[in-house]
Amino acid sequence: MVRGRVTGRLWSTKRINTLPQGALLNVELQDGSSIIALDPLGCGEGEEVLITQGSVAAGYFQDIKAPIDALIIGSIDDHN
């Protein structure tokens, strides 16, 4: 997984119909690059999050074949 910080949100009206509901958040990773991750946890701007990538991100959605390759799986409390 990778760690990043939520920096914003984006909206897409023209989208494929298997894209799940949920916020699409812009997350800045530790190396300075950004990815867009689906957020099932209701995270806010500035929050530090844990992201999983690839097909396992889609596996979170049970009833649809979600075209999702990045998912926020936790909000980070603390680390040493």
Residues that bind a second copy (CB under 8 A): 1-3, 8-16, 18-19, 24, 26, 30-31, 33-37, 40-41, 50, 52-60, 65-71, 73-80
Q: How far is the CB of 25 from a second copy (least distance, A)?
A: 10
Q: How far apart are CA 8 and CA 65, in angstroms?
A: 26
N-terminal to C-terminal alpha carbon distance within the chain:
17
Q: How far is the CB of 34 from a second copy (least distance, A)?
A: 6
Q: How far is the CB of 49 from a second copy (least distance, A)?
A: 9
Beta carbons within 8 Å of 57's beta carbon, 6+ residues apart: 37, 38, 68, 69, 70, 71
